[in-house]
Structures are given as structure tokens and as C-alpha cells.
Amino acid sequence: MIKGLFFILLFYFLGEGLSRLLGAYIPGSVLGMLLLFFALYFRLLKPDYVKAAATVITKNMALFFVPVSVGLMAYAEVLSRSLWAIALAIIVSTILTLVSVALVQEKLGKTPEKGGDDA
Amino acid sequence: MLSCHLLQSLLSTETALLTLVLGSYLLGIYLYKRLKFALLQPLLIAVVLVIFFLELTDIDYSVFRDRTRILNFMLGPSVVALGYVLYEQINYLKGNVLSIFTAVFVGCLVGISSVIGVARLLGADESLLVSLAPKSVTAPIAMSIAENTGGIPELAVVFVVICGMFGGLVGPLILRRLGVKSRVAKGLAMGSASHALGTARAIEMGAAEGAISGLAIGIMGIMTALLIPLVERILL
């Protein structure tokens, strides 16, 4: 667990460094995710080292959202001022994103998909 | 009034507020499992409970934010940890790599331009627009995107949460209406449109859908981070 945390933090740090080198265009956490993925893919890092920590952390991501989401109360005024614009924009855009991704993948993807158990 | 002041300072300690957040989150999970109602996400329940508590005790948001910054920090490592999840799900990528990237790319462009377009049409100001733009990606990525492009990270997270709850709620219904058969397509759409909250619902559809949805969070996050500066240069 601690070993996993160490590697996750190490890759986060490397990602932050790379992000700065690239002009902060892509968040360091995203680059850290890519670096970790490639380190695992090219067998530079044993998956077992990070498995436990990564599983616990990603399964409980919602917990880490709580403090920032509570920030809603500090922005209640801004939100209520543009309530309709915000609500409609999110509803329309979320549906369009969902539909376009599903249709493109359904048209272009390999079918039938083999393997994979039915859960 | 002295005892009242004493109580408030006790309740605004790190210990008290972190206990409050973890307790509210656990209660949220319990209620969500108990009630089986998609709209009542654990996160939403926890946030409502915490806001209620802070209003009741008159503790300022800035104080709360400062005392719980360890949880805030964990958002970064949680994105990094998705790299492991991505690796675990690599089998689902085989034979579908090109279509997956094309589909998420299209969805990403459609999502960013439609959310900016509609909000602008309805008179939202620019700081609101750039905070809305990353609504379909996971919160930590959305925060840094919003910050980098001149938005308000807290607002961006609020939009991410609203988007996640909405997509998680209506996503499965829409996919059924559309007659989407492919499990990869279903999972990919849920994760691309509604990140972790969409993924939570995709897992309920099946193991493959859940896995692909987790993958979509990562791809969508990276693509959005790359595309937003370009789209905003054109639209704003």
C-alpha cells in the first residue's frame, strides 16, 4: 500500500515536472497517469506494486471531490444568476456527447465483441 | 457566549472537519445503496450534509477548504492512479483502438462546442464559459484545465458533478432508446460524457461496460485538455 502510494506520488511528481517543461499545457496529473501507464505497459514497473493503492484510490475518487464540491455554497450567487444558461448548456451538451460517442463507436467498432464475461 | 465560541473553534479543527467529510461520505454510500436511487449519488448526499453543517455552525467555506486540503490534494494522485486502471483494461482496447479514439475525439469536440455554444447563446459570461467547457472530464483534470484557461476551478467542479449526475441518470435510458448494442460503445459513451459518475452506472450495466467507461475517463480527460485551448481560441 505504502509502496504503491510512493510510486503514484513519484509519477505525479514526474508528471508535474513534464507539465512545466511543456508549458503547463496539460495537467501534471494527466501526464503522470500516462507515464504510469507506459511504465506498466513496458514492464518498467510491476503492476503488483501499485495495484492495492491504485484500486483503493480510484474506487473512492468521489470522496476527494467533496471539499471542492462544497465550494458550490461560495458560488451560489453566480450559479443562480445564470441558472438557465448553465442547466440547459449542461443538459444539451451531455446528451450530445453521449449520443455522438456511442454512435461513432457502434459504427466503427469491431462487432461482435468476443471475450469478456457477461456480468 | 464563550462556550459557544469554544465549540465553534473545536468544530473548525482539521480533525472535526475531516471526520465530518468521511462520515458524510460513508453515510452517502450507505443511503445510496439502501435507496437505489441514481440521483442520490454518495457525493451529492455528502456535499449537502457538509454544507448544512457549515451553515449551522457558521464555519466559513474558506476555513473548511483550508482544513480539508489533504483530500483536495488527493485528487491529483487519483488521476495518476487511473494509469493503472487503464493498464488493467488494456485487453478491451484490442481491435478497437482507432474507433475508440475517433469516437472520443468526436464526442469531445461536440461536447466542448455545444456547451460553450448553448451557454453563450443564453448570455453566460466568459469566465462561466471556460469553467463550463471541461464539464465532461473527471474533476481533478477539469480543475486544472479551468485554472489554465482562466476559469474558476470550484465552479468547474460543480459543473462536472452536475454533468456526471445528469449523464449517470439519463445515459442508460438514452443508450437503450438509441438501440446501441455494442458493450464497448455503451461504456465508452458513459465514461466520455459523465466521467466517474457515468462509470459507476456503466459498472451496473456489466463488467465490460464499466471497464471501457473507466478507460474513457482517461482518454476524454487528455483529449479535452488538448482540445479546449484550440476550441476556445476559435469560439471565444
DSSP string, B83-103: HHHHHHTGGGGTTTHHHHHHH
Average pLDDT estimate for B194-203: 84
pLDDT at A118 over 60: no
Q: What value of ipTM does the predicted structure carry? A: 0.84
Q: Are residues B47 and B92 in the same domain?
A: no
Q: Are B112 and B224 in contact (CB under 8 A)?
A: yes
Q: Are residues B199 and B152 in the same domain?
A: yes
Q: Are residues B32 and B102 in the same domain?
A: no
Average pLDDT estimate for A4-26: 90
Q: How many domains does chain B have?
A: 2
Average pLDDT estimate for B79-101: 85
Residue of B52, B84, B90 to mutate for A, most A C-beta atoms under 10 A: B84
pLDDT at A117 over 60: no
| B86 lies within 8 A of chain A by CB | yes
Q: Are A39 and B43 in contact (CB under 8 A)?
A: no
Q: Are residues B102 and B87 in the same domain?
A: yes
Q: What is the CA radius of gyration of chain B?
A: 19
Q: Are B169 and B38 in contact (CB under 8 A)?
A: yes
| B25 lies within 8 A of chain A by CB | yes
Q: Which of B47, B73, B99 is the last residue of a domain?
A: B73
Q: What is the pLDDT of residue B13?
A: 93
pLDDT at B133 over 70: yes
The model carries a pTM of 0.79
Q: Are residues B57 and B141 in the same domain?
A: no
Q: Are residues B18 and B91 in the same domain?
A: no
pLDDT at B27 over 50: yes
Structural domain of residue B40, as residue ranges? 2-73
Report chain A residues whose CB lies below 8 A from the CB of B118. Answer: 85, 88-89, 92-93
Q: Would you put residue B37 in left (φ > 0), alpha (ψ -120 to 50) or beta?
A: beta
Average pLDDT estimate for B197-203: 82
Q: Are residues B54 and B118 in the same domain?
A: no
Q: What is the pLDDT of residue B35?
A: 86
pLDDT category of residue B28 using cuts at 50, 70 and 90: very high
Q: Which of A102-116, B167-181, B208-222 has the lowest mean pLDDT?
A: A102-116
Q: Which of residues 1-20 of B touch A (CB under 8 A)?
A: none
Q: Mind telling me how many Å the CA of B6 is from chain A's nearest CA?
A: 24
Q: Are residues B140 and B83 in the same domain?
A: yes
